[in-house]
Each structure stands twice: as structure tokens, then as C-alpha cells.
Copies of this chain bind each other. A is one copy, B any other.
Amino acid sequence: MSNKLDSARQLSVDDQDEKMPTRNTLRYIILGLLAAHPMSGYDIKRAFDRSLATYWNAGNSQIYTTLKTLAERGLVSSEVVYQEDRPNRRVYRLTPAGRAAFDAWLSEPVPPRFTKDEFLTKLFFCGQTSDEAALRHLEAHLEALRAQLADMEWALREYGDRPTRRPRLLEYQMLVRDYKQAILQTDLAMTEQAIARIRARL
């Protein structure tokens, strides 16, 4: 469909490329979190669950391995913090190179990519089943959406109004939150409408 300028791809002269060539959004998320404060892998996982889970998430296994590769590339450094009563923590912080890489990512445009939506994809094919089966999917989706909206409300109450010394960060986070919430609400409204549409025929 759109077919404009695929190749603005000159050979860049400098091959300092400890290549970080592809996408790896997760790497940059971790750098971005560490830009706010030093954290352990465990902390990062909690940051996902608290505030990021709606837009992205990752399992522990991916987080820990990614931290390791970031360290190998010199984008983060780490030190062990010894604790009694609890397991020791390995705390990571950004290096200047890491900060630079993060800034570069922030200023780059988001590369386009096809969306993948398992729910809509299945619904697309539901003409090949019974309306009852379709209704089951829609109702399950409705429930999932309500749970997600409730989670967002909860996270807002729990973590949203804490004082911060970086109001700009919070401002964008709230902006994104509102954005996502509006989409979820439309999603919910459309699911309800679809249910009504199908029920009307039974």
C-alpha cells in the first residue's frame, strides 16, 4: 500500500558498531528505567508490573539476560549490594554510553511494524463457528478489559500521586496512561456493541 522511500540507507563511515542494530525495545526500556534510578533486575520486573505492563512486559529470564548483555556492551555497570536477611542484590546503573544510547533511541522515530491482535484475528474467523462461540470470546474479552481497566485505576491510586522530583517524567506517564485508558474504553464499548449486535439475532 504505502511504498515510499525504502532506502535512505547510506553506508555509515564509523564502524564502532558494537552493533545494536535491530529493535530490542526491551533494552531501551531497561536503559530508560535505569535513567531514573539505579535498580536491580528484580526492581525492573516490579517496575514493569507497576507501571509499564500495559504497554510492554517481559519475564525475569529476559530481563536478567538483557541486563547481562547491556553490561557486556558497556551500557550499564553493576555492583553487588550485600544484605542480611535477604538475598544480595546486583544493582545496575547507566554508564554515559548507556545514557547516549537511550537518548538516541528516544529521538529516533518509531519504526513501523504490523500490529498483531490475536483477539481480533480470531473474531475475524468467527463466521465459521456458531454465534455462541463468538459470544464466549467476546465475553471473555470484556472481562479481560475490565480487569485491565481496574488494574490501571489501582496502579494510579497506588503509585500515581507520590511526590516526585521529576514532574516531567510523571507528566508523560500520565499522558500515556490516559491515552491507553481511552483506547481500552473504546475497546470495551465496541465489545459490548458487538455482543448486542450478535444477541439481537438470537
Contacts and interface: CB of A to CB of B under 8 A. Distances in A.
Contact of A123 (B107, B172, B190): B172
Given A56-B116, A133-B106, A197 B175 contact: yes
Contacts of A106: 122, 125-126, 128-129, 133
Contact of A172 (B114, B125, B141, B173): B125
Interface in A112-162: 112-129, 133-134, 136-137, 140-141, 144, 147, 151, 154
Interface size bucket, A side? 35 or more
B144 A112 contact: yes
A127 B190 contact: no
A172 B126 CA distance: 6
Given A1-B147, A25-B116, A25-B118, 9 more contacts: A2-B151, A55-B121, A56-B121, A102-B128, A109-B136, A123-B176, A127-B172, A127-B173, A182-B189
